[in-house]
């Protein structure tokens, strides 16, 4: 029984609660609603944690790896970002994300999508 206090200390120091260190995309509107050619639109991204919108960047990647910065806004829910998509010609594109989680960790990701006619 003398070991019980020591065992409790070992368990206390070994226990690590689940903490998200990066803002990971958990869902996005492009999965269910495609973007149509020649029409401006918005894309919604949901993350697993709070994000620092002012420190984050989103770029449109078009043919020839051309990067165009896009405007972002806070969504209605915590950890949600809204991205303004300009009118685009049909074809393949991507969103390049550089997102800071509220705890300061940077996450980079790329989401590919097709603009339909």
For residue 6, the surrounding DSSP H or E stretch is: helix 4-14
CATH of the domain at 24: 2.60.40.1220
Q: pLDDT band at residue 2, thresholds of 50, 70 and 90?
A: low
Is residue 25 included in any domain, yes or no?
A: yes
pTM of the model: 0.78
Domain that includes residue 98, residue range: 20-116
The CA distance from 6 to 19, in Å, is: 26
Is residue 12 included in any domain, yes or no?
A: no
Is residue 8 included in any domain, yes or no?
A: no
Identify whether the C-beta of residue 85 lies closer than 8 Å to the C-beta of residue 35: yes
pLDDT in tens, 20-59: 457 889 999 999 999 999 999 999 999 999 999 999 999 9
DSSP string, 72-113: EEE-SSTTEEEEEE----SEEEEEEEEEEBTTS-EEEEEEEE
Burial pattern 30-49, b for ≥16 Cβ within 10 A else e, equals: beeeebeeeeebebbbbbeb
pLDDT in tens, 51-87: 999 999 999 999 999 999 999 999 999 899 999 999 9
Is residue 6 included in any domain, yes or no?
A: no
What's the gap between Cα 115 and its chain centre? 20
How many domains in the chain? 1
Strands 35-36 vs 106-116: parallel, antiparallel or unpaired: parallel
Identify whether the C-beta of residue 113 lies closer than 8 Å to the C-beta of residue 58: no
Is residue 2 included in any domain, yes or no?
A: no
Is residue 3 included in any domain, yes or no?
A: no
């Amino acid at each position: 029984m003398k070991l019980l206090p020591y065992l409790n200390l070992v368990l206390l120091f070994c226990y690590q609660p689940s903490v998200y260190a990066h803002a990971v995309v958990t869902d996005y509107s492009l999965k269910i609603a495609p973007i149509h050619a020649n029409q401006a639109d918005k894309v919604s991204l949901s993350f697993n944690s709070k994000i620092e919108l002012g420190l984050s960047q989103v770029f449109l990647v078009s043919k020839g790896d051309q990067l165009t910065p896009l405007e972002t806004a806070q969504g209605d829910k915590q950890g949600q970002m809204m991205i303004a998509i300009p009118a685009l010609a049909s074809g393949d594109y991507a969103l390049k994300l550089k997102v800071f989680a509220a705890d300061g960790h940077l996450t980079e990701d790329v989401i590919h999508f097709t603009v339909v006619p």
